[in-house]
Chains A and B, each alone.
Chain A
Amino acid sequence: DAGITQSPRYKITETGRQVTLMCHQTWSHSYMFWYRQDLGHGLRLIYYSAAADITDKGEVPDGYVVSRSKTENFPLTLESATRSQTSVYFCASTHGLVSTGELFFGEGSRLTVL
């Protein structure tokens, strides 16, 4: 199916474990983003990528790693999960300048760290 998909949709893990959240888009959008959504904070940008092999930090990058070896995939890895990383994670993409506002979001991945 066309669009942007995230997996897993739900994940429970333990403190200290490595977790990878996957994001895949079928539009060949150049820009991709990872946000986390927490009560009282709205959406905060973790990392973004302007193209394959180009990534950069957002507002809250600590504890996260990303890669973009292919245009369509943008995985987010928590190398050693902490309870503070319990959140809902959203991947988004857009083809051009973000100033157009046309970000397309995945359905989210709910992560619980015990």
Chain B
Amino acid sequence: GDSVTQMEGPVTLSEEAFLTINCTYTATGYPSLFWYVQYPGEGLQLLLKATKADDKGSNKGFEATYRKETTSFHLEKGSVQVSDSAVYFCALSDRMDSSYKLIFGSGTRLLVRP
């Protein structure tokens, strides 16, 4: 079945460092891809998405490009802030009967130090 694999955390960076969180997927069809973020004590929020190959999703300085040839959707940010400390989940949409569901990766915790 479809699946999502993320790099294991935690990822610890200093403020203003460059961030990459790797995400690869397996899917039989043409999924949409997403990054969700979970801040401490909160539920998940959609961070960005891409619905087809070569699309780039972006939000709050974060970017990810849908790479079909490498089945990847790596999350990047040029300069992280302490407030970016959170758990990041990569996800893909998968068709299930007549509707869709989201399949999540295991999450990557990011800790940004001042």
Cβ of B100 and Cβ of A98 under 8 Å apart? yes
Closest chain A residue, CB of each to CB of B33: A101
A99 vs B103: C-alpha distance in the bound complex, in angstroms?
A: 11
Contacts of B34 in A (CB 8 A): 101
A75 interface residue (CB < 8 Å to B): no
Question: Across the interface, which residues of B come within 8 angstroms of A99, CB to CB?
Answer: 32, 51, 93, 95, 100
Q: Does B61 contact A (CB under 8 A)?
A: no
The count of chain A contact residues (Cβ–Cβ below 8 Å) is 26
Which residues of A from 33 to 55 have beta carbons under 8 Å from B? 33, 35, 40-45, 48, 50
Contacts of B91 in A (CB 8 A): 101
Which residues of A in the span 93-111 have a Cβ within 8 Å of any Cβ on B? 97-103, 105-108
Query: Which residues A53-106 have CB closer than 8 A to chain B?
Result: 56, 58, 90, 92, 97-103, 105-106
Report yes or no: A50 in contact with B46, Cβ–Cβ below 8 A.
no
Q: A44-B104, A98-B93, A101-B49 are in contact. List 8 more A-B contacts (CB 8 A).
A: A31-B99, A35-B104, A42-B6, A42-B104, A90-B44, A97-B99, A99-B32, A107-B41
Query: What are the 3 A-B residue pairs with the smallest beta carbon separation, nearest first?
Result: A105-B43, A98-B100, A42-B106
